[in-house]
Amino acid sequence: MAVPKRRTSRSNTRHRRARWKAEAPHLVPVTVDGRERLVPVHLVRAFRRGLLPGRE
C-alpha cells in the first residue's frame, strides 16, 4: 500500500476535496415501447433489450 512521505495539511486537503464536483449523466433519447425516454448513454443497450424497467 502506498504511504505518503509527508502529512498533508488540513487546508490543502480541504481545498483539494472542495474542487471535486459530481456531474449529471449525459442523457440521450431512447424509444421504449413507443415512449421516448431520456436515459444515460451507458444504459441505452440495456433499455433497448428490456433488461431495465422502462415503465413508470
Domain extents for the chain?
10-49
For the residues of the chain, what is the DSSP string, one character each?
Answer: ----SSPPPHHHHHHHHHH----PPPEEEEEETTEEEEEEGGGHHHHHHT-S----
Cell of 31: 424509444
pLDDT value, residue 27:
93
Does pTM surpass 0.75?
A: no
Cell of 33: 415501447
pLDDT value, residue 2:
84
Length of the chain: 56
pLDDT value, residue 10:
92
| pLDDT 10s digits, 1-56 | 788 889 889 999 899 888 888 888 899 998 887 888 899 999 999 988 888 876 55
pLDDT value, residue 40:
92
Distance of CA 30 to the CA centre of its chain: 18
Residue in this structure with the C-alpha cell 415503465, named with its chain if needed: 55
